[in-house]
């Protein structure tokens, strides 16, 4: 009796395993395909978003850009934004379609005790790159010394694009605040 039951259930279990494996494989393949290619229907100049997630996935690397300064960069709340030296680049987009531009920006930072907030903006064509806020850029709230490290990305279309980094400070009340960056460094990669 036991052998007969086992013989009858074996094909059912095998079929269930094949269906589960097929569903898992197709789900994994669809997920991998979505992550391995940027969305061709996404509008120019936008990263793909799903809720708070930002994703820019490129292919073969086409170019790299590295720049920064071995010095201190200073921004005061009494002045406007300060351009970080060495971070001005012209990035050429593809002739057709779009490329992915991924940017990393790092520095040692200091936000004065009279500051409410420091702001770092990695600007592509004058617009802060995702995931930073379109108006404020990437905030620095912690007063005192810290480390700033952020990654950004955007899909770019044909033509020439300008890339630069600016910093600014927002004072607390009527005080003058200041933001300092030491040895800021930008690394950008353009890929298919």
The conformation of residue 130, written as its DSSP 8-state character, comes to: B
Q: Which two tokens stand for residue 157?
A: 């279309």
Q: Which two tokens stand for residue 42?
A: 């996404």
Gap between the Cα atoms of 188 and 88, Å rounded:
11
| The pLDDT of residue 61 | 83
Does position 132 have pLDDT exceeding 50, yes or no?
yes
The conformation of residue 4, written as its DSSP 8-state character, comes to: H
More confident call, 171 vs 54:
171
| The pLDDT of residue 150 | 94
Question: Using one digit for the tens of pLDDT, what is the confidence trace for 35-57?
Answer: 334 344 444 444 444 455 667 78
CA end-to-end span of the chain: 62
Question: Using one digit for the tens of pLDDT, what is the confidence trace for 59-81?
Answer: 788 889 999 999 999 999 888 89
Question: Using one digit for the tens of pLDDT, what is the confidence trace for 90-129?
Answer: 999 999 999 999 999 999 999 999 999 999 999 999 999 9
H or E segment to which residue 170 belongs: strand 160-171
In this prediction, residues 153-182 reach a mean pLDDT of 92
| The pLDDT of residue 52 | 57
| The pLDDT of residue 40 | 41
More confident call, 46 vs 133:
133
The conformation of residue 27, written as its DSSP 8-state character, comes to: H
Domain boundaries, the chain: 58-191
For 188, the 3-state DSSP assignment is strand
| The pLDDT of residue 75 | 93
Does position 180 have pLDDT exceeding 90, yes or no?
yes
Q: Which two tokens stand for residue 176?
A: 């003058």
CB atoms within 10 A of CB 39: 15
For 131, the 3-state DSSP assignment is coil
In this prediction, residues 146-166 reach a mean pLDDT of 94
3-state helix, strand, coil in the chain (%, to 5): 20, 50, 30
Gap between the Cα atoms of 157 and 151, Å rounded:
20
| The pLDDT of residue 57 | 81
Q: Which two tokens stand for residue 115?
A: 């500051």
pLDDT > 70: what percent of the chain? 71
Residue 145 to residues 19, 126, 176, Cα–Cα distance (Å): 56, 28, 18
| The pLDDT of residue 167 | 95
Assigned CATH class of 58-191: mainly beta
- Among residues 135, 118, 128, 123, which one has the least CA distance to residue 76? 118
């Amino acid at each position: 009796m036991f052998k007969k039951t086992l013989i009858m259930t074996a094909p059912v279990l095998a079929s269930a395993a094949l269906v589960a494996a097929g569903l898992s494989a197709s789900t994994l393949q669809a997920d991998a395909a979505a992550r391995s290619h940027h969305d061709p229907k996404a509008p120019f100049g936008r990263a793909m978003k799903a809720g708070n997630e930002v994703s820019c996935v490129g292919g073969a690397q086409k170019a790299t850009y590295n720049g920064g300064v071995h010095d201190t960069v200073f921004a005061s709340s009494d002045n406007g934004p300060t351009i970080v030296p060495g971070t001005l680049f012209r990035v050429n987009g593809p002739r057709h379609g779009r490329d992915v531009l991924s940017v990393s920006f790092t520095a040692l930072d200091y936000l004065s005790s009279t500051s409410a907030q420091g702001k770092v903006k990695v600007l592509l064509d004058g617009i802060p790159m995702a995931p930073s806020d379109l108006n404020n850029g990437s905030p620095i709230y912690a007063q005192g010394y810290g480390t700033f490290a952020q990654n950004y990305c955007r899909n770019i279309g044909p033509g020439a694009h300008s890339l630069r980094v600016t910093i600014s400070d927002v004072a607390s009340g009527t005080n003058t605040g200041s933001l300092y960056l030491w040895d800021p460094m930008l690394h950008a990669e353009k890929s298919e």
